[in-house]
Amino acid sequence: NAGVTQTPKFQVLKTGQSMTLQCAQDMNHNSMYWYRQDPGMGLRLIYYSASEGTTDKGEVPNGYNVSRLNKREFSLRLESAAPSQTSVYFCASSLLPRDNEQFFGPGTRLTVL
Amino acid sequence: TQLLEQSPQFLSIQEGENLTVYCNSSSVFSSLQWYRQEPGEGPVLLVTVVTGGEVKKLKRLTFQFGDARKDSSLHITAAQPGDTGLYLCARNSGYSTLTFGKGTMLLVSP
């Protein structure tokens, strides 16, 4: 089992460009999450999907959109990238919404110039 | 907002030393998790504590949940370079989400 996979690992964008971060899990988990991690700020939740077919905003949703494509895949889209979105992005999944354990992917390091 | 305060923010020690890091909140939480994040990787769950006063051990790591369920500590005995990483605590913050503390960055030098 690969667990949670993310693509790409690294990306550099210019201000105003768009891109989609991909995430997939092979653990048959119901819930999936997108976080960003910035120095001194910890992990902050952007969006989550408690179950297939549902998505909800987290703490810092502005500038992002998500799609729960199917049970396995949850993508994060930046429509018009800004330097403030330079960060490391982590996707995570859990078996159930109330399940304490979240499994994280290896992250995508994004730089917006 | 149900904040989690972690201290210290950064800790640099020599191999073989003992250390304790803390996670505190002003409100009671039903359970608390500790994750470790190694450089360049995602966080990995170490333990979940649920009962006030609970103590759990994972090899040289000892986790304690405060009696009032507002605080938790992680004690590492005889730290090794492999313990280097960011230690994060997290609590439930709704039906299906977690709130993370900002973490304690631990560096263990040989």
Interface of B with A (CB under 8 A): 31, 33, 40-45, 48, 88, 92, 95-103
* Per-residue pLDDT at B2: 60
- Please give chain B's pLDDT, 110 residues, in tens: 568 999 999 999 999 999 999 999 988 888 899 999 998 999 999 999 888 899 999 999 999 999 888 999 999 999 999 999 999 999 987 777 889 999 999 999 99
Sign of CA dihedral B64, B67, B72, B78: negative
Q: How far is B100 from chain A (nearest CA, A)?
A: 6
The answer for residues whose C-beta is within 8 angstroms of residue B45's C-beta and 6 or more apart is: A100, A101, A102, A103, B33, B34, B35
Give pLDDT, residue A101.
86
When pLDDT is averaged across residues A49-76 and rounded to a whole number, the result is: 95
Mutation target for A interface from B34, B89, B92, B96: give the one with most A CBs within 10 A.
Answer: B96
- The arithmetic mean of pLDDT across residues A31-41, rounded, is 92
Residue with tokens 């973490």: B103
Q: Which residues of A touch B94 (CB under 8 A)?
A: none
